[in-house]
Chains A and B, each alone.
Chain A
Amino acid sequence: MTGPILDIRGLRKSFGHVEVLRGIDLAVKPQELVFIIGPSGSGKSTLLRCCNRLEEPNAGTILVDGVDLMDRRTNINAMRRHIGMVFQSFNLYPHLSALSNVSLALRKVVKKSRAEAEALALTALERVGLREKAKSYPSELSGGQQQRVAIARALALEPTIMLFDEPTSALDPELVGSVLGVMRELKQDGMTMLVVSHEMRFARDAADRVIFMDHGLIVEEAPPSQIFTSPREPRTRTFIAELTR
């Protein structure tokens, strides 16, 4: 029995006087895909962004692979490499080709040679089905392709967990499928994933566990089959009824 990859305890975060996270406990096991749903303003994106300290939590502990992210002695830059993050707005570097977008951190952070970094980057692009777009610049790619390059960029660093912050929300409906397809393959390859998304159908057939958040707290967590058909909490029921209406 191995410990959780991500272990969050008593996490609190405030923006000014507003407490967005009011004590979150969450553990993600190896190879698990945990899905976070909830109304906007419930704190789900903030929770995700605390997991690599893009947001600085006010209290609580975050263990990634047993390493305490909140410990002063922890090298956060070294840890972030192992925590892949995919953003709603892709955030590809517009001045670099897809290949350089993926290989930059390998070269400058991991300090691999250009040849080695580019070989690994090509492998990562291959995994998201975009090897032939290696030379293209972000402006020459569709939204779905950009997001897949962004996934490859995180993937190339061989993360132990990947965080997805509404990865398909900025995409045209016809492009969503390709991104979800890549995520599904990652799941099959055994990647540990924490996903904030509104793609309920994807949650239903790929997630191991679904977490419903509201007002900075975890209201309910259950396997997708249960949470979508017979939610226990009234608030969950209302939210799911709204979504599936």
Chain B
Amino acid sequence: MDTWSRFLDTFFKPELIRQYLPSIAAGTVTTIEIAFAIVVTGILLGLVLAVLRTFRILPVNMMLVACVDIMRALPPIVLVLLVYFGLPNIGINVPSFAVLWIVLSLVLAAFAEEILWAGILSVPKGQWESARSTGFGLFSTLIYIVLPQAVRLTVPPLTNRTLAITKNTALGTVIGVPEILNQATTGQSFSGNATPLMMGAIAYVILFIPVVALGRFLETRFRWSRA
């Protein structure tokens, strides 16, 4: 057997592809579901926190910054393991799917809050002043004038971060969420062949390349030249 056919036999074995396609496909659906849930709740929560921070209530902001920094400092896998294996000991049983969803949502929310907060700060003070001088309150200034500008500025870093965190759905493997990587490693152990892992890798590429492209599109779509 020459090197080339050994390579094909290791990574692209036709009968294994056929055998594991259904489970990898099911894993892909699971990954999409979790990723979607994480993006929605993570970014929304991040937005709420960033808005909350603009009211500059000192005790609230101190707590907020502390929580956000902890979330950003911890490796997500530590949180996943801590929650999944720790909570049952105090009588709280959370399904593995929910653990992954909640933990990664909180991590994304922490990063999204920081990014959106930076975006809010980068909107010039004069924008606030002209809005306030026409009778807008703090909150409506934020909603109608500041956030639309802040969000445009933050689309590229927010897309990057969202991508980085939704890829962490692969951590579901360690707590038994049947997502892509879990299905792929299961297939690999049963078959003793790397083909299911390669299929998993390909599934990730198919899944995330469009998101990268969407980020690039939004980046150009939302840009406007400043006077």
User: Which residues from chain A sit less than 8 Å from chain B, CB to CB?
Assistant: 52, 54, 77-78, 80-81, 83-85, 87, 89-95, 104-105, 108-110, 137-139, 141, 146, 150, 153-154, 157
A109 to B152, CA, bound (A): 24
A138 to B145, CA, bound (A): 14
- What's the dominant secondary structure at chain B's contact region? helix
Q: State whether B136 touches A109 (Cβ < 8 A).
A: yes
Please name all residues of chain B whose beta carbon is closer than 8 Å to the beta carbon of A105 when the two chains form the complex: 131, 134-136
Q: State whether A157 touches B152 (Cβ < 8 A).
A: no
- Give me 13 A-to-B residue pairs in the complex whose CB atoms sit less than 8 angstroms apart, sorted by A's number: A52-B133, A87-B129, A90-B227, A91-B124, A93-B127, A93-B130, A93-B145, A108-B144, A109-B134, A110-B135, A139-B227, A141-B227, A157-B134
CB-based nearest A residue for B145: A93
CB-based nearest B residue for A95: B148
Please name all residues of chain A whose beta carbon is closer than 8 Å to the beta carbon of B148 when the two chains form the complex: 95
**Chain A: minimal CB distance from B141 (Å):** 10
A80 partner, pick from B132, B144, B224, B225, beta carbons under 8 A: B132
> In the complex where A78-B135, A94-B224, A95-B224 touch, is A85 in contact with B149 (Cβ < 8 A)?
no
CB-based nearest A residue for B225: A139
B135 partner, pick from A80, A141, A146, beta carbons under 8 A: A80
> In the complex where A94-B227, A138-B227 touch, is A87 in contact with B130 (Cβ < 8 A)?
yes
A135 to B226, CA, bound (A): 16
Q: State whether A77 touches B135 (Cβ < 8 A).
A: yes
User: Which residues from chain B sit less than 8 Å from chain A, CB to CB?
Assistant: 124, 126-127, 129-137, 140, 144-145, 148-149, 152, 224-227
CB-based nearest B residue for A146: B227
**Chain A: minimal CB distance from B44 (Å):** 21
Please name all residues of chain B whose beta carbon is closer than 8 Å to the beta carbon of A85 when the two chains form the complex: 129-130, 133
Q: State whether A54 touches B132 (Cβ < 8 A).
A: yes
**Chain B: minimal CB distance from A194 (Å):** 14
> In the complex where A78-B135, A80-B132 touch, is A139 in contact with B140 (Cβ < 8 A)?
no
A34 to B36, CA, bound (A): 59
Please name all residues of chain A whose beta carbon is closer than 8 Å to the beta carbon of B133 when the two chains form the complex: 52, 54, 80, 83-85, 154
B152 partner, pick from A81, A92, A95, A139, beta carbons under 8 A: A95
Please name all residues of chain A whose beta carbon is closer than 8 Å to the beta carbon of B224 when the two chains form the complex: 94-95, 137, 139
CB-based nearest A residue for B124: A91
A77 partner, pick from B137, B145, B227, beta carbons under 8 A: B137
A109 to B140, CA, bound (A): 9
A162 to B195, CA, bound (A): 74
A54 to B133, CA, bound (A): 8
Closest CB pairs A-B (n = 6): A91-B130, A81-B135, A91-B126, A105-B134, A85-B133, A109-B135
**Chain B: minimal CB distance from A113 (Å):** 16
A104 partner, pick from B126, B144, B149, B227, beta carbons under 8 A: B144
A81 to B133, CA, bound (A): 7
> In the complex where A54-B129, A91-B129, A108-B144 touch, is A81 in contact with B226 (Cβ < 8 A)?
no
Please name all residues of chain B whose beta carbon is closer than 8 Å to the beta carbon of A92 when the two chains form the complex: 130, 227
A45 to B148, CA, bound (A): 29
A139 to B144, CA, bound (A): 19
Name the residue among B124, B127, B129, B134 with the largest chain A CB count within 10 angstroms: B134
A139 to B225, CA, bound (A): 6
Q: State whether B149 touches A150 (Cβ < 8 A).
A: no
**Chain A: minimal CB distance from B148 (Å):** 5
Please name all residues of chain B whose beta carbon is closer than 8 Å to the beta carbon of A154 when the two chains form the complex: 133-134
Q: State whether B130 touches A150 (Cβ < 8 A).
A: yes
**Chain A: minimal CB distance from B31 (Å):** 35
A200 to B129, CA, bound (A): 27
**Chain B: minimal CB distance from A111 (Å):** 11
A110 to B140, CA, bound (A): 13
A150 to B137, CA, bound (A): 19
A91 partner, pick from B127, B137, B144, beta carbons under 8 A: B127
Please name all residues of chain B whose beta carbon is closer than 8 Å to the beta carbon of A78 when the two chains form the complex: 135
